[in-house]
Amino acid sequence: MSGAGDEPFIAAVKPLVDAMGGEMIPPDEAGPDDVVLSWEGADAVAVRLPQLADSLDHILAAMERRKGMPLADLDRKAKQEVVRILEARGAFSVRHGVETVASALGVSRFTVYNYLNREKGT
């Protein structure tokens, strides 16, 4: 995928790529929507970004790992906090975002909308 000199760079960016649900590919296989990263003047690696819907699933899984339990098992206040974080990250601009989040939280779409409206009211 790369020359010997860029392995530290690739190792350094891998956690970021993994966290956002991207995929590292050889730069010469990059498509028009991929991001090519250069290191010391040469293309080191290309990053294929996830589709927004896949990214939302990845964000929800990461939140579950951070919380140490399924999001559906959180109390109401913690679920409201999750909705606030997800709104800040644009989760509800994704098609079916509200439904996806509601399912992960074990609540109805109506409840998610209530959490969103509560935030706007304060």
* Same domain, yes or no: 67 and 109: yes
70 & 102 share domain? yes
Looking up tokens 């909308």, which residue turns up? 113
The 10s digit of each residue's pLDDT in 77-87 is 999 999 999 99
Looking at every residue in the chain, the average pLDDT score rounds to 88
pLDDT at residue 50 above 90? no
| Confidence bin at 67 (pLDDT 50/70/90) | very high
Give the model confidence (pLDDT) of 89-107 as tens digits.
888 888 889 999 999 999 9
| Mean pLDDT (whole number) for 40-67 | 86
Please, which pLDDT band fits residue 58 given cuts at 50, 70 and 90?
A: confident
Return the pLDDT at 4.
55
pLDDT (0 to 100) of residue 2: 46
Residues 62 and 116 in one domain: yes
Distance CA 43, CA 29 (A): 11
Look at the chain and report how many structural domains it folds into: 2
Q: Between 56 and 6, whose confidence is greater? A: 56
- Please, is 84 exposed, middle or buried when counting C-beta atoms within 10 Å of its C-beta (0-12, 13-18, 19+)? middle
My answer on whether 25 and 69 are in the same domain is no
Residue 90 lies in domain: 53-120
